[in-house]
């Protein structure tokens, strides 16, 4: 048996007609940038996130970067970011010229540990960027409390968590602004690159839109030195076709995750921990194992494709060499990097495949 790490096939088979119809609609209209599709998707996605505004942009990195830029976070400012996340979170901060301040995660949830945030705050701190990693919401109450106490912006990185909730409230609706990615592999994925910033703040939404459109408020009038980062009509139409299915596809991911949680019984393996009050959407199912390399090879030899999120923590990446960090500076992020193994998780996994993965992990000695 072969189990891929991720497959789009089951979803594409089911939504084949809807996606082709979306293509035809845009192609027939022959209008590709800034139009009715973008507008319709933005409205639907804002509603889904329970926020007032959604601005479609080119990708998830820009969704975060433009939000920071719109909030005037830049040179001389510090932004608190978890030490365990995808590089894009950090790149958004350094692109706008601000400085990274890493805070360690809670090793059980992989997400930023609110108890460690206050110690990282200085008089230069401007914002906190919680990342709802692997599809699990961060502990938002204490994060919002700290932000309020120190007058900091909160920009949520929701790239892996479309639809996840904390105490019944959707991620993306807590902070001043939130960034989503619709990279094809995300829980809601386009058929190419796409992203969105959501917010409840009208001025901020308008500024993000202007910044992503050459800094113009109306055609050929430029109020900011902007970027070109727009959600094109074709991707907006695909996303609008897929959005009504997101909720049930997330439910299916939870069913798979529950099977893993109930079925995997191996003392060598640490399963992900889900705190009460959080409903995750399982973008990634990450287990931990001290003998990860051996487990990885064991599963790969059985035809099960695995992945690592992420093999090199950000503070040890070459691109951030100048920050002067060394091994040992963020031990929790380093332990996660050295022990995390992501196992197959995607909409449409069959029960046989799920069981095959469970049995293989349980066989590992």
Ligand X SMILES: *Cc1c(COP(=O)(O)O)cnc(C)c1O
182 and 45 in contact (C-beta within 8 Å)?
Answer: no
- Give the range of 2-10, 28-36, 153-161, 214-222 binding ligand X by CB under 6 A: 153-161
Contact between 130 and 157 (Cβ < 8 Å): yes
Q: Does 59 bind ligand X (CB under 6 A)?
A: yes
Residue 85 sits in the site that holds ligand X (CB under 6 A):
yes
Instruction: Please name the residues in contact with 197: beta carbons below 8 A apart, sequence gap of 6 or more.
Output: 54, 55, 57, 63, 64, 66, 67, 177, 178, 179, 180, 205, 208
Q: Among 3, 54, 55, 61, which residue sits at the site for ligand X (rule: CB under 6 A)?
A: 61
Query: Is residue 60 a contact point for ligand X (CB under 6 A)?
Result: yes
Of the candidate spans 21-29, 84-92, 271-279, 312-320, the one that interacts with ligand X by CB under 6 A turns out to be: 84-92
* H-run or E-run covering 127: strand 125-128
Q: Is 84 in the site for ligand X (CB under 6 A)?
A: no
Q: DSSP class of residue 211?
A: H
Q: What residues does 311 pair with on adjacent strands?
A: none
Q: How far apart are CA 135 and CA 282, in angstroms?
A: 5
Binder of ligand X out of 51, 83, 84, 89 (CB under 6 A): 89
Out of 86, 95, 325, 330, the residue judged to bind ligand X by CB under 6 A: 86
* Neighbouring C-alpha atoms within 13 Å toward the C-beta of 74: 6
181 makes contact with ligand X (CB under 6 A): yes
CB of 60 to ligand X, least distance (A): 2
If we measure between CA atoms, which residue out of 96, 231, 81, 95 comes closest to residue 156? 81
Cβ 158 to ligand X, closest distance in Å? 8
Residue nearest to ligand X (CB): 60
Considering the rule CB under 6 A, would residue 160 count as an interface residue with ligand X?
yes
**d(Cα 276, Cα 187) in Å, to the nearest integer?**
22
What is the distance between the alpha carbons of residues 308 and 243, in angstroms, rounded to a whole number? 28
Two tokens, residue 339: 């022990």
Stretch that binds ligand X, among 74-82, 157-165, 289-297, 316-324 (CB under 6 A): 157-165
Can residue 157 be called a binding residue for ligand X (CB under 6 A)? yes
At 195, is the secondary structure helix, strand, or coil?
Answer: strand
Per-residue contact string for residues 108-147; x = within reach of ligand X by CB under 6 A: -----------------------x----------------
45 binding ligand X? (CB under 6 A): no
**Cβ atoms 79, 128 nearer than 8 A:** yes
Residues in contact with ligand X by CB under 6 A are: 59-61, 85-86, 88-89, 131, 157, 159-160, 181, 183, 193, 195
């Amino acid at each position: 048996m072969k189990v891929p790490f991720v497959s789009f096939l089951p979803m594409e088979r089911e939504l084949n007609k809807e996606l082709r119809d979306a293509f035809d609609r845009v192609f027939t209209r022959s209008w590709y940038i800034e139009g009715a599709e973008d507008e319709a998707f933005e409205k639907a996605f804002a509603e889904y996130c329970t926020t007032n505004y959604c601005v479609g942009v080119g990708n998830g990195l820009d969704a975060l970067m433009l939000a920071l830029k719109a909030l005037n976070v830049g040179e001389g400012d510090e932004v608190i970011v978890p030490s365990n996340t995808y590089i894009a979170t950090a790149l958004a901060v350094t692109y706008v010229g601000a400085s990274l301040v890493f805070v360690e995660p809670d090793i059980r949830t992989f997400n930023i540990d609110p108890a460690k945030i206050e110690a990282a705050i200085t008089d230069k701190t401007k914002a906190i960027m919680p990342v709802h990693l692997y599809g699990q919401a961060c502990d938002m109450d204490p994060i919002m409390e700290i932000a309020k106490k120190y007058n900091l912006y909160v920009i949520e990185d929701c790239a892996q968590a479309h639809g996840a909730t904390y105490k019944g409230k959707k991620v993306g609706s807590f902070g001043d602004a939130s960034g989503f990615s619709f990279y094809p592999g995300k829980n809601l994925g386009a058929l190419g690159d796409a992203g969105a910033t959501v917010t409840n703040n009208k001025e901020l939404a308008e500024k993000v839109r202007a910044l992503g459109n050459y800094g113009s408020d109306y055609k050929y009038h430029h109020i900011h030195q902007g970027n070109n980062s727009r959600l094109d009509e074709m991707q907006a139409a695909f996303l609008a076709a897929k959005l009504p299915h997101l909720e049930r596809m997330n439910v299916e991911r939870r069913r798979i995750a529950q099977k893993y949680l109930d079925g995997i019984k191996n003392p060598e393996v640490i399963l992900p921990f889900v705190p009460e009050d959080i409903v995750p959407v399982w973008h990634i199912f990450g287990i931990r194992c001290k003998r990860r390399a051996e487990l990885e090879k064991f599963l790969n030899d059985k035809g099960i494709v695995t992945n690592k999120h992420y093999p090199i923590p950000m503070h040890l990446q070459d691109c951030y060499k100048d920050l002067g960090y060394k091994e040992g500076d963020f031990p929790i992020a380093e332990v996660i990097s050295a022990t995390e193994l992501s196992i197959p998780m995607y909409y449409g996994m069959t029960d046989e495949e799920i069981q095959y993965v469970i049995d293989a992990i349980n066989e590992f000695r």
